[in-house]
Structure 1
Amino acid sequence: MESLMKHNRNPLAKAINYALGAGMIASLAMTAAPVAAQDDDEEAADLDRVQVTGSRIQRADVEGALPVTVIDREAIELSGETSIADLLRNTTFNSFGSFRPQSGSSAQSHGGISLRGLGGNRTLVLIDGRRFPKNPFIGTGQDLNAIPLGAVERIEILSDGASAVYGSDAIGGVINIITRKDYEGAQISYTYSNPEREGGKQRAGHAMLGIQSDRGRMLAVASKNSRGIIFANQRPWSESTVANPFSQARNLSPYGNNWVLLDGPNAGQVQSPAGACESLSPNLYRLTDDTFWGGEGCFYDYTTESADEASIENQSLHVTGDYMINDDWRVYTRLENTRTFSFGRYAPLPDYAVLDADSPANPYDYPAVLYHRFQALGPRDNTVESNVHSGLLGFEGRVGGVDLDFGVNYSRYKGYDVGRNYGMRSNMQAFLDNGSYDPTNPFGASEDTLNGMRVTIARESEFEIKEFYGSAGMDIAEIGGGWIQAVVGAEYREETFFDQYDSLSEAGLVGGSAGNSSSGDRDVSALYTEWLFPLMDNLELTGAVRYDDYSDYGDDISPKIALRYQPTDSITLRASYAEGYAAPDLTLINAKRAFSAEFVRDFVRCEQLGVSPNNCPEIQTDAFSIGNGDLDSENSKGYAAGIAFQATEWLSGSVDFYQIEIDNLIRTIGAQELINLEVEGRAFPEGLGVYRDASGGIDEIIYGPANEGDLETSGVDVNLRASFDFGDAGMLRSNLQVGYIDKWEIYSELDDNIPSPETVGTLGTPQFRANLDNTYSIGDFRFAWNLHHTDSTSEQVLLNEAGTARIEQGHVSSWTRHDVTATWFTPWNSELSLIVRNVADRNPPLSPFFSRSYAYNYSDGWGRIPYIRYTQNF
């Protein structure tokens, strides 16, 4: 039996480092090269088998039939990033960007990943090959910010469907985070940065201790990293423009100090009495309202107090170990505990109240609706804490000619959200009606009145996984190219979820917040098998199939077949076909009606008032999300073909084509999409809709998930690697990686009469991303220059007058970021690195049509950030 112990300097590790081009790039390491160079046949024969992401079969070949990209530890350090989420967000596979921490919500600490632009719920995240729990605050993705970067040895990205191996959520691909295990000695590292732009200070550090013996090893890593808060008024693109009429202004809210009369000669028009606007606060502006109610209103600039990005701090302890019980068996374990703290800020509470004509809060002789900003209560502050506990205990060994691997995996993600300075609606209404709170003089209210209105809200959420797994691998028979290998296995998993709001929010009694508690659980039983057929020395066929049975909605079968052909020593051809699925998330099934204040552009109302779509402003309106207990799983088909080549001694690369089709799509029909359907004269999905008042304004929007439509996407990934050895003058290594999306379209029955949309190249969906990474090493020094580029897009898509075609308008610029690194490997066994991210201090792509005025998902507004990092080895 091959040794089960794997050391970081064994022949296999050397071969993998050559084949994968370890360390050749910074933010993205390269795809495996087609051929692993061997010094001689004897060394090749001694190689241990390893398991590569996307397959359960252990093998000595590092270049298989599936495209796997590796980001190794050197690449992680060269990137200058301090979190896994930021590191992966820069990859070309994260096509349209992904969810980032956003201030003022329970998800404000969440960092996601979205391979192929398919969403976090279709991208599976694994830790050492085992499933990581979902973030219970959002329920549809896994939080990369809850995984400490200091504990990571490498990250493997499988850019191919893998439901046949891993089950649900692997439609877009798999992120397998491999933790550190094989290290002897001690290390401390600290990174300090002081960004040139205001806000967002970053700190990171870790301490690591590893011990080894002839039979076992243990490694412990303690780490901490943090990033400071960034307020909206610290970035020019987030500030309001108030010099123009309201129809041209951005980031102004009608929840300022407005009375809309319900009766009388000016019924339906907005009113704001003298002395009740600019003189009360520098954040209030009196502007002509030519869009909503007519008249002159008092509008609020919320950007002066709200934050764009929440602060975030991550603390973690990671322990791994394994021990050889005897020559045939070993026990392995992993324990992790991570705590994440986040602080975010919303502007003061916006809310409305219906006032009688004789109410002290109503300066008019007719009943009215007051749209008011309760500034005297102070800004709404949210503090979020999440705790992730995980543990793995497994056994690996051989009985006869069968390799066995079995164990138990447990993980729990638990979060708490506390919000301050929200409002008790009943008391707010009562104090308005009895005159204790005067909206024309809000800061004159007594502290007792303000305290009687304030509410502290709370939310507790948890997602728990209990998993038992086992597999058996064996050689079946010898054929033309070698031994047929097979793996059979079984898994049983229990998932439990709950999301508990405080009783006042749940009852809808809190202004500025709402939400209903929900909970759910399921168990999943799975059987799978995978076979490798070496048909010839240079041709192999791999087949896999998996059966999953869910206790709540039903079952799914996921087959996959892959072919690898190596016509010459320098060329590898590969192709695969896979069917996959994504189970409906527990949150989507069990979610109950919950309030949210959505930002939308009411094109229907604008058309009624003669305002063009280009000038139709963004407004905030009441909306309610609902769940759907009848959701079924999504089903996918994926096709892939590629070539990996070694063109010369210094040039290698790969080109991979893919096509993915998803049926029975689970997607949230959002508030803006419902308005767009209304503009197009289309029917709403069952249970969803836009409801309007007598004047034509939006009363409320009901939105939520449904199995509706199909999605098709296709594209190509290109990876070119070059290595130049200049002898005593050093070595230069370069890597160009391009992710190009040819097609990404949703086909919906809701759009039967509308021409097929051209999504790619429109707002938020760039057609390609490219990374060019260069590393030059000479003596004790290493220098890196990394370039990240994202394509430009159009700004908006409108229907022509006949409603028969979509027309792209406007332009959103591309984004190119340059990062540089210089590292000195000192004589005293340490490393000193100087890093500058965004050397040119480039602003992100800007557009008022982005929800935060810039391309928040695939760029950042941090500006130039210099870092210094010191690492000491003992």
Structure 2
Amino acid sequence: MLGNRGRWHTCTRSALLGLLACARLSFADDGSDSERFRIDAGSLADALIQYSQQSNRAIVFSDRLTRNMSATPLIGRYSQEQALDTLLEGSGLGWELVNDRIIAIYPLMCGGQDCDDAAETAANNPVFVPGIEETYVYGNRLTGSRIRRSNYSGAAPVDVFRAPEIELSGAQSLGELLKFVPAVVGNSTSTAIANGGDGTASVTLRGLPASNTLILINGRRVANDGLAGESVDLNSIPPAAVDRIEILKDSASAIYGSDAIAGVVNVIMKQDFRGFLAETFYGQTGRGDLQTRTNTLQYGSALPNGSLFLSASLYEQDPIYSRDRDVSSNADARNLGGSDQRSSATPDARIVLPDGSTVIADGGGYRPAGPEDLFNYQAFTTAVVPLERRSLYGNVSYDFTEQVTGLLEMTYLETEAAAALAPTPVFTAFEQTPIILSADNPFNDFGQDISDVRRRLVEFPLRQQHNDSEVMRFNAVMEGLYDNWNWDVGFNWSRSKASETTSNLVNADNLRRALGPAAGCQGMAVDGCVPVDLAGPVGSINDEQIDYLLANGTVSGYSKLSTISMNFSNALLRLPTGRGDLAFGVEYRQESTAKRPDALLANTGTIGATNFEATYGERQIAEVYAETALPLWTTDNGRRSLYLDGAIRYSDYSDFGDSTNPKLGLRLQLGPTLLLRTGYAMGFRAPSLNELYEGAAEEQAFIDDPCTQPANASRLPGCRGLQADPTRNQFLTVKGGNPELEPETSESYSAGAVWSPSLLDGLRLSVDLFQIEQEDVVASSAQFIVNQNARFGSFSGNVTRDAAGNLVLVTANNINVGRRRVRGADFGLTYHLPRQRWGQLSLTGSATYLHEYLARLDASAPELNLAGTFRDEASEGLGGIPDWKWQLGLRWDHKRWRASTDLHHVASMEELVPGSNRTRDIDAWSVLDLQLSYTFDLLAGLRWSLGVDNALDEDAPLAASAFNDNIDGRTHELKGRFWYTRLSQRF
């Protein structure tokens, strides 16, 4: 129900506004005998509608009063009056029975404004017309549909996290909240990823890359991460202003267009907030680090014909250092059952002589290098990145008439993140332009040219990576009703700007000159060049040499999105089999992105950071869609029905062409206890602007070279009988965009059931089978190219090796070569026990089982089943793909007390131990979270919460092949036990 503030709109046909759900109502006589109620809606509006359906009473209420209110489950036997009193308890709303037939809901206090009399309200908005027993009420759009529905179970599962549940989780960022969702597996990023991260957060449904999950805010697209990102940065959404998060676990390209192959995460922001809220949060680990602080101010007020909401928050997170946890303190994890991944770039120069022998400087000359002459870079790195986030969010709504409403919303957000990296490593033989220590250089003790010098420049300050971003969003929407048609017209603009500065790098051009012939580098006073003692022991590089080599690298960029859209919907009321619905609309978007490196990075002039060329791209997209929900069969009493859900969307892109994607679903309702559903959908993902137009990027990628193993060197054709250096695991790789890319395409299938057994009121069980088949996957895999080259001699133009068989350069641009098939099942459990005098108990659970995750990078490559495995992203894997992931929560509410406990579980995974053909298991991991809160009576509106995450202090399990901190930081957590408290005062 939608309407003017202070006015009331009933659910008769004459007042249709936003029609999309129906309730069959007849009006019973007033009675006090107890009845069985099973009301488990999350919002108060849906709970009141369920009450109306179950009590056979008509209700008049305004959506303006209830839109932002949640409902406590109501399970058990109550009189109709008791049930209604319980639903409205603590809401500030009252009810009155009007003319013995209509219940009117009204505000007990109107903030200084005069309240309409309930009887007058009902009289002015009659819901009863003799001879008409069926009346329709309005609902909200649920993610995955453009049709408004209330208490709707669709053809695909949707998980909903509402504000009270978000608060009970204790999460202070959306990335942290979504990390434990069972359907989220794979390479999602967060501030728990330091080396290779940039302070952003993403979500990966079904283990597909983040670019395959569409992120929406209030059902509308927003710009991706500012550094030509492939997805929206979740850290750019202020969680304090979030009302709920809806996660559609199904392909939705027919509804939303590109990117929704794995599903959709729709973040709904708060609106119609009343009063003033001041809240503070503080937490830290049991080891005294990761201090986290959040301070929030919110204000909301009713306007004469609208509403205003403002929210401001400041979030600060301190770091965790790798050295402060046992599992991550050393890159050599052999004593823990892992492998030795220390670096061969050591503080004392490590030199490979022309005869193939390797020596290391020791202060008194040189000695043969031994197997323990390696560097533990994890003694210097941050494991969890320090972050600061400042956000402002506001919206204002205005009712121009009883049938036209306008909404403006604005977001401004700044984030700053800083990661500490180990001192810069130098590998002279493996730069894109090799660096030679000349024979006559004053610091060359060997009298011959040396091409392979490896040195960790611990004399330099630590490398620091600073990431800054600024996000602005603006949204303007007009919506209303015309001749029983809902319509809305919207303009949406968003821009994400970001920069990344890596300090204390090496100027590659200066180092090349400093190591070159003596005649070309005679001193700063003579020719502006300072010879550098790179081949000496630790401490051999003095301050003058440091000043000559020291450099910083900066890259900046933006992503921008502008959208104009129009949507229309109507109820098809006169169908023989019941009510149907229709929606259609058009959308026009402009996307652009740019990524600009400074001169040093653009000219491959640094060592220790990613050198790359500039990126710029833009495009325009025009789309049209239609959606319907049609009843194919309905019994006379409406308890059994068969519905067909259908949608289709046509997308026309200015850069690669067009795509048409349909979706079909069937819903068979077999009485009030059983729903069967099935669906089919075609999906697509347009190649991102970065994938199309990215300039050539140079990096030292982690690659497992098969030729480093003696058994492979002699038998694999690409190794040429030469064993490569086994101490190296990082190799120079050049990647870039490809303007000829085609879209990724997919077909998705689902079938499921929702069962609410009548013997147990409040119990709801669901199971949904899913399968996603994806073709033409965009891939840029240096690991795949190296494997194919070594095993079959293919990709010879992309792989360069030196005379000793060592990898020198791998070129891996984006191409459409991949294929995936993911099959599994989602399980859901909700059980609201009957309310007792000691309170209300609710049990919730969800689980995802991955039966198989088949991935193939090329038609010539074998299919790999990744279900139950871990392949690190630093080695171009898809991350942790556990075959089982589940969570179970218990909630208790009693008067002013609330408590919760949540158990999260991730099954064990198999990984390949680096440098061998041996596999090992990463242990299963379970975490218990607890929270207790109390609302004070003496200070109305004051609430205090105390919580602990990982109450049993379970350590993250060892992942031997993980580059970051010897754990899968995208699946597990390094922090251990984490205590927090929250204090909020609402006026």
Do both proteins adopt the same fold according to a TM-score greater than 0.5, normalized to the shorter chain? yes
- Tell me the C-alpha RMSD between the 2 structures: 3.3
Q: 1:112 to 1:509 in 2, by over 3 A?
A: same
1:602 has 2:705 as partner: yes
Deviation at 1:603, TM superposition (A): 2.4
User: Deviation per CA, 1:37-96, whole angstroms, max 9, x where unpaired?
Assistant: 643252394632321111111233422223111000111011011100110111011033
CA distance in 1, matches of 2:244, 2:333: 51
Deviation at 1:441, TM superposition (A): 5.5
1:367 has 2:463 as partner: no
Secondary structure of the residue aligned to 1:376 is: coil
| TM-score, structure 1 as length reference | 0.90
Q: 1:569 to 1:286 in 2, by over 3 A?
A: farther
8 Å contact kept, 1:8–1:182: no
Secondary structure of the residue aligned to 1:288 is: coil
Q: 1:10 to 1:72 in 2, by over 3 A?
A: farther
The aligned residue for residue 813 of structure 1 is: 923
Q: Name the aligned partner's letter for residue 39 of structure 1.
A: S
The aligned residue for residue 889 of structure 2 is: 773
CA distance in 2, matches of 1:9, 1:812: 58
The aligned residue for residue 675 of structure 2 is: 572
The aligned residue for residue 641 of structure 1 is: 751
Q: Select which of 848, 861, 864 maps to 1:757.
A: 864
Q: Select which of 730, 748, 760 maps to 2:839.
A: 730
Deviation at 1:868, TM superposition (A): 0.6
8 Å contact kept, 2:348–2:362: no
1:89 has 2:164 as partner: no
Secondary structure of the residue aligned to 2:185 is: coil
CA distance in 1, matches of 2:483, 2:448: 90
* Max Rg structure: 2
8 Å contact kept, 2:946–2:980: yes
8 Å contact kept, 2:227–2:499: no
8 Å contact kept, 2:348–2:361: no
Q: Name the aligned partner's letter for residue 977 of structure 2.
A: R
The aligned residue for residue 804 of structure 1 is: none
The aligned residue for residue 55 of structure 2 is: 39
Q: Name the aligned partner's letter for residue 780 of structure 1.
A: R
Q: Name the aligned partner's letter for residue 805 of structure 2.
A: G
CA distance in 1, matches of 2:311, 2:932: 25
User: Deviation per CA, 1:699-752, whole angstroms, max 9, x where unpaired?
Assistant: 122223211132111111111111223521212111121111111112344545
The aligned residue for residue 468 of structure 1 is: 564
- Unaligned ranges ≥5, structure 2: 12-18, 24-36, 61-134, 429-434, 522-529, 635-640, 716-722, 871-879
The aligned residue for residue 361 of structure 2 is: 273
Q: Select which of 731, 739, 744 maps to 2:853.
A: 744
Q: Select which of 782, 785, 801 maps to 1:674.
A: 785
Mapping for residues 165-564 of structure 1, pairs under 5 Å: 165-197=255-287, 199-213=289-303, 215-240=305-330, 249-254=340-345, 256-261=347-352, 263=354, 267-275=355-363, 288-289=370-371, 298-351=373-426, 352=428, 353-368=435-450, 369-433=452-516, 434=521, 436-439=531-534, 440=536, 443=539, 445-476=541-572, 478-513=574-609, 514-537=611-634, 538-564=641-667
1:706 has 2:819 as partner: no
8 Å contact kept, 1:659–1:713: yes
The aligned residue for residue 907 of structure 2 is: 791
CA distance in 2, matches of 1:234, 1:799: 27
CA distance in 1, matches of 2:146, 2:310: 27
The aligned residue for residue 846 of structure 1 is: 958
8 Å contact kept, 1:636–1:662: yes
CA distance in 2, matches of 1:99, 1:36: 45
Q: Select which of 920, 923, 936 maps to 1:826.
A: 936
Q: 1:429 to 1:668 in 2, by over 3 A?
A: closer
Secondary structure of the residue aligned to 2:175 is: helix
1:22 has 2:55 as partner: no
Mapping for residues 605-616 of structure 1, pairs under 5 Å: 605-607=708-710
8 Å contact kept, 1:255–1:373: yes
CA distance in 1, matches of 2:274, 2:649: 39
The aligned residue for residue 292 of structure 1 is: none
CA distance in 1, matches of 2:189, 2:364: 39
CA distance in 2, matches of 1:336, 1:203: 21
Q: Name the aligned partner's letter for residue 52 of structure 1.
A: L
Mapping for residues 52-201 of structure 1, pairs under 5 Å: 52-96=142-186, 98-101=188-191, 107-137=197-227, 139-197=229-287, 199-201=289-291
Q: Name the aligned partner's letter for residue 923 of structure 2.
A: S
Deviation at 1:199, TM superposition (A): 3.3
The aligned residue for residue 118 of structure 2 is: none
Q: 1:844 to 1:728 in 2, by over 3 A?
A: same
Deviation at 1:260, TM superposition (A): 3.7
Q: Name the aligned partner's letter for residue 897 of structure 2.
A: F
Deviation at 1:355, TM superposition (A): 0.8
Secondary structure of the residue aligned to 1:388 is: strand
CA distance in 2, matches of 1:3, 1:159: 32
Q: 1:277 to 1:870 in 2, by over 3 A?
A: farther
Deviation at 1:286, TM superposition (A): 8.4
User: Deviation per CA, 1:356-398, whole angstroms, max 9, x where unpaired?
Assistant: 2221222213221322222222111121110110000010012
Q: 1:179 to 1:366 in 2, by over 3 A?
A: same
The aligned residue for residue 27 of structure 1 is: none
Deviation at 1:628, TM superposition (A): 1.4
Greater shift in the superposed pair: 762-771 or 596-605 = 596-605
Secondary structure of the residue aligned to 2:709 is: helix
CA distance in 2, matches of 1:774, 1:528: 41
User: Deviation per CA, 1:12-44, whole angstroms, max 9, x where unpaired?
Assistant: 9999998665399xxxxx9xx999964325239
Q: 1:356 to 1:200 in 2, by over 3 A?
A: same
8 Å contact kept, 1:193–1:201: yes
Deviation at 1:444, TM superposition (A): 5.3
Q: 1:798 to 1:377 in 2, by over 3 A?
A: closer
Deviation at 1:215, TM superposition (A): 2.2
1:657 has 2:769 as partner: yes
Deviation at 1:259, TM superposition (A): 4.8
Q: Name the aligned partner's letter for residue 249 of structure 1.
A: D
Q: Name the aligned partner's letter for residue 356 of structure 1.
A: S
Q: Select which of 690, 694, 697 maps to 2:799.
A: 690
8 Å contact kept, 1:350–1:371: yes
The aligned residue for residue 294 of structure 1 is: none
8 Å contact kept, 1:19–1:37: no
Secondary structure of the residue aligned to 2:780 is: strand
Greater shift in the superposed pair: 130-139 or 555-564 = 130-139
Deviation at 1:309, TM superposition (A): 2.5
Secondary structure of the residue aligned to 1:526 is: strand
CA distance in 1, matches of 2:897, 2:271: 27
| TM-score, structure 2 as length reference | 0.80
Percent of residue pairs bearing the same amino acid type: 25
8 Å contact kept, 1:273–1:363: no
8 Å contact kept, 1:250–1:618: no
- Unaligned ranges ≥5, structure 1: 25-29, 279-284, 290-296, 801-806
Secondary structure of the residue aligned to 2:444 is: coil
Q: Name the aligned partner's letter for residue 322 of structure 1.
A: S
Q: Select which of 848, 866, 869 maps to 2:979.
A: 866
Q: Name the aligned partner's letter for residue 491 of structure 1.
A: E
Deviation at 1:239, TM superposition (A): 2.6
Greater shift in the superposed pair: 576-585 or 204-213 = 204-213
Q: Name the aligned partner's letter for residue 869 of structure 2.
A: T
Greater shift in the superposed pair: 621-630 or 149-158 = 621-630
